[in-house]
Amino acid sequence: MISKLVKVLLVFVFVACLSPTSIGAMESPKKQVIVLFKDAIDQSLVEKVNGEILTEYEFVPALVASLSEQGIDKLQSNPNILAVERDVHVTNHSKQVVDWGVTSTNAPLAWQSGLTGSGIDVAVIDSGISNHKDLVISGGVSYVSGSDYTDDPYGHGTHIAGIIAARNNEHGVVGIAPEASLYAVKVLDDEGIGSLSNVLLGIDWAIRHDMDIVNLSLGVNLPTQALEEILDEAYKQGILLVAAAGNSGTADTSEDTVQYPARYESVIAVSSTNEIGERDGFSSTGESIEVSAPGVNITSTFSKNKYQTRTGTSMAAGYVTGDLALLKQLYPHLTNVELRKVLHKHVLDLGVPGKDSLFGYGFIQAPSN
């Protein structure tokens, strides 16, 4: 997975704080200001313009005062004053961010139609899902010794979970299917490494617990019969299987670089696109690519109640998983095989006309009633 860290931006909203107090008919209502002196504090300069001193600072030559507009103007023109600044309210807002991937797949239109993934069970077989204010974890299991399914210091599984179903709650981010039920199946350790045997256990758990969709944003370069057989069984049991195609793409795209399990017939292989609908150079290509989805600079939930921007086909697979949750809610009586065919029709055809090895059938588009 290719990733990059970004800093969380704090948005500061400034609102002027007005005081209704007035000092006379000839003066405007007083305002609370911060007076910054060039050198030492000189209270007399404030007093000369009928200002009321409220407090002084110890480590900076400044004070807080209540002044009329006329008094502010006079102080601002005084050569001994560095600045007169209005006092303001500072608030730390964590307003919800709608990632470009959500809008480009038309998920908001699906939400307006009442499609949110409600009632759909999704297993994220990954590094776990951390407890997060933007996520609801419905359950799960850990096959990593000494670790709970909500332990995810690596953050990968938490990031995928947010892409799928971060809550639409006016802060943080929002997933493509914000009301889908998330189940954390931890098979990767704190460094994002796991064994094939644990992955098999994770898929087995998903079958036993009647999951609707399984997200596999992980892969290996070589095929294994055991993995193929258990995935085939999950597919026979009606589970939709989604996997990242891999980040091993070549510049000329002539080589089939799709990893396993995405390469198996029972699994939907997902490639990655950027904001302008281009395949990014890292995205694996090959005949098994079924659809493409947003995978470049995707902001989502992360460990320790944080958010992070990452890039990779792992992210794209999360979008397809969420999109399938919307489709399954819209068509509850269709089988997984039938829903897979419906998925092929809800796309924007990119690249050469028809299915191709870069984008599959095309770039996913959320359904609407």
The DSSP letter of residue 309 is E
Q: What pLDDT, on a 0 to 100 scale, did the predictor assign at position 59?
A: 77
What is the C-alpha to C-alpha distance for residues 271 and 316, in angstroms, rounded to an integer? Answer: 7
The whole-angstrom separation of Cα 294 and Cα 363 is 8
Which residue among the candidates 130, 266, 272, 314 is catalytic per the annotation? 314
DSSP state of 190: T
pLDDT for 159 equals: 97
Q: Is 77 a residue of the active site?
A: no
pLDDT digits (tens, 9 = 90+) for 45-62: 999 999 999 988 887 889
pLDDT in tens, 20-35: 333 334 456 888 988 9
User: Would you state the pLDDT for residue 281?
Assistant: 87
Options 66, 68, 121, 126, the catalytic residue? 126
Please state, in angstroms and rounded to a whole number, the distance separating the CA atoms of residues 366 and 64: 54
How far is it, in rounded angstroms, from Cα 202 to Cα 185?
6
Among candidate residues 261, 296, 263, the one with its CA nearest the CA of residue 1: 296
pTM above 0.95, yes or no: no
- Given this model, what pLDDT does residue 46 score? 94
| pLDDT given at position 97 | 79
Which pLDDT does position 12 carry in this prediction? 23
Q: How confident is the model at residue 10 (pLDDT cuts 50, 70, 90)?
A: very low
> Residues 305-344: pLDDT tens digits?
999 999 999 999 999 999 999 999 999 999 999 999 999 9
What residue ranges define each of the domains in the chain, with the CATH number in brackets? 18-86 (3.30.70.80), 96-364 (3.40.50.200)
Write down the pLDDT at residue 89. 53
Residue type, 247: N
In whole angstroms, give the CA distance from residue 55 to residue 229. Answer: 74
- What pLDDT, on a 0 to 100 scale, did the predictor assign at position 21? 33
Lowest-confidence range among 5-19, 25-39, 260-274?
5-19
Q: How far is CA 277 from CA 58, 177, 280, 342, in A?
A: 56, 22, 9, 21
Tokens of 173: 């981010």
Catalytic residue, chosen from 99, 104, 156, 323, is 156
Predicted pLDDT at 25: 40
126 is catalytic: yes
The dihedral built from the CA positions of residue 307, 107, 248 and 261, taken in this order, carries a sign that is positive
Dump the DSSP string for 257-289.
---BTTTSTTSEEEEEE-TTSPBPTTS--STTE
Mean pLDDT (the chain) is 89
The 10s digit of each residue's pLDDT in 185-227 is 999 999 999 989 999 999 999 999 999 999 999 998 889 999 9
3-state secondary structure of 241: strand
CA distances from 121 to 139, 173, 261, 311 (A): 10, 20, 21, 25
